[in-house]
Amino acid sequence: MARRRARGEGSIRKRKDGRWEGRYTIGRNEETGKFIYRNVLAKTQAECKNKLREAMQLQEQQQSQEEVSAEKKRASQEMQETADHGLVEKKSYTVGEWLDLWYEIYSKPNLRKSTQIQYKYFLKDIVSPRIGDLPIEQLTGLQLQQLYQDLRINGKIRKPGNFDPGLSSKTVRSIHMLLHCSFSQAVREGIIPKNPTDDCKPPKIEKREMKVIQPDQVSSYLHAAAEHHVLPMFYLELTSGLRRGELLALLWSDLDVKQCSISVTKSVSRRDGEIEVAPPKTRNSIRRIVVPKQAVDLLLEEHSQHPQNPYMFPSPVTGTMYDPDAVGRIHKKLLKEAGLEDCRFHDLRHTFATLALQNGVDIKTLSGILGHSSSGFTLDTYTHVTTKMQQEAANKMGQFMKMKL
C-alpha cells in the first residue's frame, strides 16, 4: 500500500494526457476558507517531484519573507511608541546602550538566526568592550579609525596559536558597515547631529590568493580520500563545487538516481557550539544540479553501507551529519598524505570551478551550478581563469590567421 503523503508534502498524479501533475497549497481563501492550490507539470514522475519540491520551497521562502516584513513593521511601531514616550529622543546614550537598542529594535527582527549571532558578536564582544562606555554624541571619526586599526592588529577574542591575532580587513569592514547603519539611525532620531563613520576609512579588503588543486594532483588527493573511506564525499565535492555546509546537509532523498541530479535546499553550520541546519541565504543557492554518473555510483555504494540512515554522509562517530569542522580536519589530513600544498576546504569549490572553466563550461552554466547570485559575480571571482582562457583563444586565433597570410 502506498504511503499516504503527510500534510504539506503536496500530491502527485498522472494526468490523462500522460503528463505528471504536482499540487500544493499556498494558503486559504479568506472569504470561503477553502484551500488555494497551485500546480506544476512535468513529463516524468521524478521531474515532477523535483519541480514540486522546488515550488514548495520557494513558497516557504516567500512566506518567511512576509513574516520578516510583518516583524519589521511591528518593530517600527514599537520604536515609534518608544519615541512617543520620550525614551529615544530625550535620553543621552552611551555607544554601547545605543548599539544594544538599535540591534534589538531595528536590526534583529530582519535577520536570520546565524546573522543575528554574528552581529551580536561584533557589537557586544568586539565593539562595546572598547568604545561602549563613551557618550555617543562625543564619539569621533578619529576614535573609530583608531578602533579599526586596533582590531586589525589585536582584534580576535581567542588568540589562536601562531596565527595572526588581528581581525581580517573584511571583518573590520563588516563592523564598519554595521556601525554606519546604527549611527545613521541615531542621526535620523536626532540623537547625534552627524554620523562619525563618515569621517573615517575602513581598511581595504585584501584579496586572498585562490589556491586550487592542480589537475595532475587530483588523483593523489582522491586516492588519499579512498584510503580514509571518504571517497564518495570528496569526489562529489570536486565534481559539484558544493559549499561545505550544503554538502554535509544532503539527505539521501535529495538524490535523483535516474536523473543523476541533487537538490540543494539547506546548509549546515556550527553556531555557538551547536550544529544548525537552515535554508541557504539566497534564492539562487536553492538549486538542482546534475552530477556525473560516476559520482552517483559512488553515492549508491556509500548508501548501501547504511541503507536506513537518511543522511547522505553520516558521521561514523555520531550516525548523524558530519560536524563541518571535522570534515575540515579530514581535508587537511588528505592534503598531507597526498603531499599537496595546504588549502582550505572551500578551495575544493574553487578547484571545481577552475577545472570546469578550463574544460569549456560557460560562465552562466557554472554560475547556476555554484548557486551564485549572478554570472557577473562568478566572472569576477574567476577572472584569473577567464583571462588565461582569453589569452589562449587569442593565441589560437593568431595561429589561425597566420596560416592565412
What CATH number is attached to the domain comprising 168? Answer: 1.10.150.130
Identify whether residues 370 and 250 lie together within a single domain.
Answer: yes
- 344 shares a domain with 264: yes
Q: Is the same domain home to 299 and 181? A: no
For residue 6, is pLDDT > 50? no
DSSP state at residue 123: I
Domain identity same for 53 and 99 = no
Cα 316 to Cα 313: distance, rounded to the nearest angstrom: 9
Within a domain: 208: no
Return the CATH number at 313.
Answer: 1.10.443.10
Same domain, 261 and 365: yes
> Of 55, 85, 115, at which residue does a domain stop?
85
Q: Containing H/E element for 392? A: helix 383-404
Q: Work out the burial of residue 396: count CB atoms within 10 Å of its CB; fewer than 13 is exposed, 13-18 middle, 19 or more buried.
A: exposed
Q: Is the pLDDT of residue 4 over 70?
A: no
In 3D space, the residue among 61, 53, 64 whose CA is nearest the CA of residue 11 turns out to be 53
**Is the pLDDT score of 150 beyond 80?**
yes
- 168 or 400, which is more confident? 168
Q: Return d(Cα 374, Cα 379) in angstroms, integer.
A: 9
Does 11 share its domain with 114? Answer: no
Assess if residue 402 is contained within a domain: no
Residue where the block lists cell 484551500: 35
Cα(292)–Cα(369) distance, integer angstroms: 13
- Average pLDDT over every residue of 16-26: 85
Same domain flag for 223 and 369: yes
Q: Per the structure, how many domains does the chain have?
A: 3
Residue 28 parent element (H or E): strand 20-28
Claim to verify: residue 47 and residue 163 sit in the same structural domain: no
Task: Indicate if 356 and 239 belong to the same structural domain.
Answer: yes
| 148-153 average pLDDT score | 93
Q: What pLDDT shows up at residue 73? A: 57
Residues 283 and 305 in one domain: yes
Grid cell in block for residue 243: 559549499
- Are both 343 and 254 inside the same structural domain? yes
- Residue 305's domain spans which residues? 215-395
- Does the pLDDT of residue 41 top 50, yes or no? yes
Cβ contact 109:68 at 8 Å: yes
Question: Is 81 part of any domain?
Answer: yes
- Residue 405: the pLDDT is 63
- Residue 20 falls within a domain, yes or no? yes
Instruction: Report yes or no on 403 lying in a domain.
Output: no
Which tops the pLDDT comparison, 62 or 239?
A: 239
Cell numbers standing for residue 234: 570528496
Torsion angle of the four alpha carbons 389, 395, 400, 401, in this order, in degrees rounded to the nearest 10: 120
Tens-digit pLDDT profile for residues 294-333? 999 999 999 999 999 999 999 998 899 999 999 999 999 9
265 shares its domain with 386: yes
Summarised one tens digit per residue, pLDDT across range 64-92 is 555 555 555 555 565 555 555 444 454 68
